[in-house]
Amino acid sequence: MSYTLAEIVERLGGEVLGDACTRVSQIATLSSAQPHQISFLANLKYRSQLAGSAAGAFIMGRDAAQASSKPRIIADNPYTYFARVSALFNPPYAAVPGVHSSAVVHPEACIADDASIGANAVVEQGARIGAGSIVGAGCVVGRDSIIGSACLLYANVSVYHGSVIGDRVILHSGCVIGSDGFGLAPDDGRWLKIPQIGRVVIGNDVEIGANTTVDRGALDDTVIEEGAKLDNQIQIAHNVRIGAHTAIAACTGIAGSAKIGAHCTIGGAAMIFGHIEIADRVNISTNTLITKSLTQAGTYTSALPFSEHSEWLKNAVQMRHLDSMAKRIRALEKKLVELEKNQHE
- Catalytic (active-site) positions: 238
What 8-state DSSP symbol labels residue 317?
G
In total, the chain counts a number of residues equal to 345
**CB 255 to a second copy: min, Å:** 6
Cα gap 177→212, rounded to integer Å: 8
Cα gap 293→115, rounded to integer Å: 42
| Stretch 176-215: interaction string toward a second copy, x if CB under 8 A | x--xx-xxxxxx-xxxxxxx-x-------x-x-xxx-x-x
Cα gap 104→123, rounded to integer Å: 6
- Residue 119: CA atoms inside 13 Å, Cβ hemisphere, count? 0
Nearer to a second copy, 69 or 342 (CB): 342
Which of the stretches 13-21, 51-59, 65-73, 152-160 binds a second copy when contact is defined by CB under 8 A? 152-160
Nearer to a second copy, 65 or 325 (CB): 325
CA 62 to chain centroid: 30
Cα gap 171→306, rounded to integer Å: 35
If one asks whether residue 146 binds a second copy (CB under 8 A), the answer comes out as no
If one asks whether residue 251 binds a second copy (CB under 8 A), the answer comes out as yes
Partnered with residue 104 across adjacent β-strands are: 122
Contacting a second copy within 33-92 (CB under 8 A) = 77, 79-80, 82-84, 86-87, 89-90
Nearer to a second copy, 63 or 66 (CB): 63
Which of the stretches 53-61, 65-73, 108-116, 158-166 binds a second copy when contact is defined by CB under 8 A? 158-166
Contacting a second copy within 268-327 (CB under 8 A) = 268-269, 271, 273, 283, 285-291, 298-309, 311-323, 325-326
Count other C-beta atoms under 10 Å from residue 197's C-beta: 13
